[in-house]
Chain A
Amino acid sequence: MSEDSKLKILTVILTRGAYISESAEIAFRTALRAHKKGYQVNVFLYLDGVWVAHIKGDKNFNNPGDWLKRVIRKGINVCMCHRCSSARDLVDGDYIEGVKPLGTYELVGMLRASDKVLTFGG
């Protein structure tokens, strides 16, 4: 495989939870669009971003959890900070299936392997 034909890697970091801003939706839409455009995409939920993984139920209003499920269904690699989720008592069974708890050590490895990194928070 030539250098040009290798998939470009995008890592999206989300540091804000749901509903406080539109960061979660924009991060997941960006991930989906990049995936569609041929990027290999990682999504990393950091700090309050881990709360989005907690939104498992149906809602009759905007649902960032649904966006996250869409991202996972597309085969995008979704991870969350293990330390951040433990601090919030977000334990196995509480969060959407397919989200992988990882440490910041792995996040730095992910960043190093990426061609682009985008942070959504603020």
Chain B
Amino acid sequence: MLGNSILILCAHGTYGHDDDAYGAMLLANTSLAKGLKTTLLLIDDGVFMAKKDQNPSKIGLPSNLNEILDFLALDGQLLVVKDALKERGIDEKELVQGAGIIDSSKIPAIIIEHSVSITF
């Protein structure tokens, strides 16, 4: 039986794969509601999800910002990979408050410290 922690890796952001992004958020917030220690790790294009003040409705896409803010309010741990931000020209100041920035070299250790990892 697995423990009480879950890591959700999201490699797809709101733009292009919005169902993956929303599916990750839905599972992340449900996991928190069920009392599991939950970490959302945004990698690759997933980092776009953590941008504050974004408004994808202008191009007909839903925003997951409310879900991200709910996640943080419920004490979820939000981590964003620094290299992925840099590659996409996103400054750390553009992210929602509460997002933790990590180096990609830390990813294996983060995976190991959680009971289960699910990738979107």
Contacts and interface: CB of A to CB of B under 8 A. Distances in A.
Interface of A: 9, 13, 15, 46-48, 83-84, 103-105, 107-109, 111-115, 117, 119, 121-122
5 contacts: A108-B27, A108-B36, A109-B34, A111-B6, A117-B2
A8 B89 CA distance: 45
In the A-B complex, list the 6 residue pairs whose CB atoms are closest, starting with the nearest: A104-B30, A47-B23, A108-B34, A117-B116, A119-B118, A108-B31
Contacts, number: 57
Main secondary structure of the interface of B (DSSP, over half): mixed
Contacts of A112: 1-2, 4, 34, 36
A107 B6 CA distance: 12
Contacts of A117: 2, 116-118
B102 interface: no
Contact of B1 (A13, A84, A108, A114): A114
Most interface-central of B4, B20, B36 (chain A CB within 10 A): B20
A105 B118 contact: no
Contact of B30 (A107, A114, A119): A107
Contacts of B30: 103-105, 107-108
Contacts of B119: 119, 121-122
A114 B116 contact: yes
A111 to B, nearest CB: 6
